[in-house]
Amino acid sequence: MEIQQLRVFLAVADELHFGRAAERLHLAQPPVSRIVRQLERDFGTDLFIRSTRSVQLTAAGAALVAPAQEILAAADRAKASALAAGRGEVGTVKLAYAGASTHVLVGVLAREVRKVYPGIEFRLNSQDFALPALSRVLRSEVDISLGRWDFVPAGVQSRIIVEEHLVMAVPASHRLALQEEVSMAELSGEPFVALPPHEGSVLGDRLRRLSLGAGFDPDIVQRAPDSWTAMALVGAEVGCSLTVSSVADNVTDPHVRFLRVLDQTLPIYLRMAWRGTTDNPALPPILSLAERVWPGHAQQTASPA
């Protein structure tokens, strides 16, 4: 029993006329008749009662209709799945992102993936910091990472999603809390809450550059494991904390105020990064979808392989 035999059988069973079934299948009538006769020989029973005036299903033929429909539907699903896999529309894509500044963006993309590519499993991995997330791309543990990096290593492509500006988080009770902007010189002698000083920390680098440019060393009184904790410590009046505008957009603690930093420094970009070469066919559709969902900047960078 072959798929084509079942398609011919169902067409004849539906039309109850060999000529009309042949037209529907874009075949001549003799091949349709031969296929049905061969199927009857394979089953060892008649499937149709034929006369010069009509064609009727036998009991065996009527019993075959539902199973034949199920088999053809399964075959069509298998074909569709194989074609979708070839187009990268099924599979798994893993994305790593860091904390308070990106969870809204990630949610927007995740919802679109579920809507546009329901066959792709989109796995989200929250990281404390961006640098480990980039390392996971290099080790092929994740397909895409979001983070702020001043450089990306060889073999990694990146695209700017958002250009951000620096803000200073201060307690609501702070003497500067009613201002909208602040210069670093106004914060000389203030206690600071900062993230761990790991290599490649963009905020750590900017805090050093800005404070030294203003003529003082920052007095870091506590290190926070992530931005959420840093903002909670600011709200608890432990100190001020340098962060980025997207954190200010996503944190709604009434005990924290965000002041734009006036001092000029290197720009800060939120980027998405992925390996330049990958054997994951589901990744290109997600990259294209991300470009529509996160238009970002036209600039795209590719490190040499």
Going from N- to C-terminal start, the domains of the chain cover 3-86, 91-163+268-302, 164-261
Per-residue confidence (pLDDT) for residue 181, from 0 to 100: 97
Predicted confidence at residue 89, as pLDDT, reads 65
Q: Look at residue 128 and tell me whether its pLDDT is greater than 70.
A: no
Band (120; pLDDT cuts 50, 70, 90):
confident
Supply the pTM of this predicted model.
0.64
Do 57 and 14 contact (CB within 8 A), yes or no? no
The answer to whether 3-86 and 164-261 have equal CATH topology is no
User: Of 136, 137, 141, nearest to 158 (Cα)?
Assistant: 137
183: which 2 tokens? 């210069």
pLDDT of residue 143: 93
CA 99 to chain centre: 16
What would the mean pLDDT of 88-114 be, rounded to a whole number?
A: 83
> Looking at the domain that runs over 3-86, which CATH code has it been given?
1.10.10.10
Q: With 80 as the cut, is the pLDDT of residue 68 above it?
A: yes
The 8-class DSSP code of residue 302 comes to: E
Q: In what order do the strands lie in the sheet with 268-275?
A: 120-127, 91-98, 144-147, 268-275, 156-164, 300-302
Whether 131 shows a pLDDT value over 80: the answer reads no
* Per-residue pLDDT at 304 exceeds 70: no
Is the confidence at residue 100, as pLDDT, over 80?
A: no
Average pLDDT over residues 260-278: 90
Q: Which two tokens stand for residue 179?
A: 């201002």
**82, pLDDT greater than 80:** no
**Does 165 have pLDDT greater than 90?**
yes
Which spans in the chain are helix H? 3-15, 18-25, 29-43, 59-86, 103-116, 130-138, 202-213, 227-235, 245-250, 283-293
Give residue 302's pLDDT.
47
Query: What was the pLDDT predicted at 266?
Result: 87
CATH class for the domain made up of 164-261: alpha beta
Among 95, 94, 96, residue whose Cα is nearest residue 133: 96
What phi and psi, each to the nearest 5 degrees, are found at residue 286? Answer: -70, -40
Q: Which of 166-175, 224-233, 284-293 has the highest mean pLDDT?
A: 166-175
Q: Residue written as tokens 């994740």?
A: 142
* Biggest CA pair distance of the chain: 105
Mean pLDDT in residue range 20-25? 92
Closest CA to 242 of 187, 179, 189: 187
Residue 298 has pLDDT above 50, yes or no: no
Please report, for residues 8, 24, 28, 62, the alpha-carbon distance to residue 16 in angstroms, rounded to integers and kept in the order given.
12, 12, 16, 12
Structure tokens, 4: 């084509």
What average pLDDT does the segment 240-244 reach? Answer: 96
Identify the residue with better confidence: 150 or 84. Answer: 150
Q: Look at the chain and count its residues.
A: 305
Phi, psi (deg, nearest 5) at residue 11: -65, -45
The fold of the 91-163+268-302 domain, in CATH, is D-Maltodextrin-Binding Protein; domain 2 (3.40.190)
User: Pairing relation of β-strands 241-244 and 91-98?
Assistant: unpaired
Give the rounded percent of residues in the chain with a pLDDT score beyond 90: 54
